């Protein structure tokens, strides 16, 4: 017999799979129920609303990303290396969770409750703050100037990541975010260093 927690997880997994459709059509609870071979009423026994299902996906993204970001912060002393590892994580995460990419860029939330987009925005703000912290650490290690504008630099790096996510989703998941990372990170690193030298 399937336990309630397992059923909730199955619903979220199926929703995430449906979000992988490159056409990006609005997902209805009727379509989700059909995919799960159950009634809409059965869905509502586990989630009060579709918005609550999206909340579950956003929570999964946040828990997954910050679990690893916290590990990076705890295990890697070098600030710029922390920056590099966090950006690489952000680029690789959608490749393993394609449907989540559309949640992160807001595509999947266009027809949903406004508070869901607000929640994603807060998550992105938290990620930006984590990047900013790595840059501050790099400055204390004399890798960046203490006069560096950490806010602007963290925003630039996050915008790079979001742009790569956008390309991935809009290309029907063919242009992988990490495809040019090995060549692009040295350029981004140089931009960080040049700003601190300006």
Residue 31 lies in a domain: no
- Does the pLDDT of residue 87 top 90, yes or no? yes
Q: How many structural domains compose the chain?
A: 1
| Per-residue pLDDT reduced to its tens digit, 114-165 | 999 999 999 999 999 999 999 999 999 999 988 899 999 999 999 999 999 9
What's the pLDDT tens digit per position in 39-48?
889 899 899 9
> CA–CA separation, 79 vs 76, rounded Å?
8
Q: Is residue 23 part of a domain?
A: no
3-state helix/strand/coil string of the chain: CCCHHHHHHHHHHHHHHHCCCCCCCCCCHHHHHHHHCCCHHHHHCCCCCHHHHHHHHHHHHHHHHHHHHHHHHHHCCCHHHHHHHHHHHHHHHHHHCHHHHHHHCCHHHCCCCHHHHHHHHHHHHHHHHHHHHHHHHHHHCCCCCCCCCHHHHHHHHHHHHHHHHHHHHHCCCCCCCCCCHHHHHHHHHHHHHHHHHC
- Which residue segment(s) compose the domain that 101 sits in? 49-197
**60 in any annotated domain:** yes
Per-residue confidence band for 102, with pLDDT thresholds at 50, 70 and 90 = very high
Q: Residue 196 — very low, low, confident or very high, per pLDDT cuts 50/70/90?
A: low
- 15 occurs within a structural domain: no
How sure is the predictor about 4, in pLDDT bands with cuts at 50, 70 and 90? low
What rounded mean pLDDT belongs to the chain?
92
Question: What span, in angstroms and rounded, lies between the C-alpha atoms of 116 and 128?
Answer: 18
Q: Which CATH number do you get for residue 134?
A: 1.10.357.10
């Amino acid at each position: 017999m399937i336990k309630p927690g397992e059923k909730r997880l199955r619903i979220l997994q199926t929703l995430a799979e449906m979000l992988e459709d490159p056409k990006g059509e609005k997902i209805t609870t009727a379509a989700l129920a059909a995919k799960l071979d159950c009634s809409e009423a059965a869905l509502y026994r586990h989630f009060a609303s579709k918005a609550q299902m999206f909340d579950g996906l956003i929570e999964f993204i946040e828990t997954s990303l910050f679990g690893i970001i916290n590990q990076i912060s705890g295990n890697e002393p070098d600030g710029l290396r922390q920056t590099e590892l966090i950006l690489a994580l952000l680029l690789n995460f959608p490749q393993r969770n394609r449907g989540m990419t559309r949640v992160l860029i807001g595509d999947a939330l266009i027809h949903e409750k406004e508070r869901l987009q607000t929640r994603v925005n807060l998550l992105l703000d938290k990620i930006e703050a984590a990047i900013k912290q790595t840059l501050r650490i790099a400055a204390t290690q004399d890798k960046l100037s203490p006069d560096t504008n950490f806010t602007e630099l963290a925003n630039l790096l996050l915008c790079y990541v979001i742009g790569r996510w956008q390309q991935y989703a809009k290309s029907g998941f063919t242009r992988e975010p990490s495809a040019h990372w090995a060549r692009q990170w040295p350029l981004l690193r140089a931009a960080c260093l040049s700003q601190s030298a300006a």
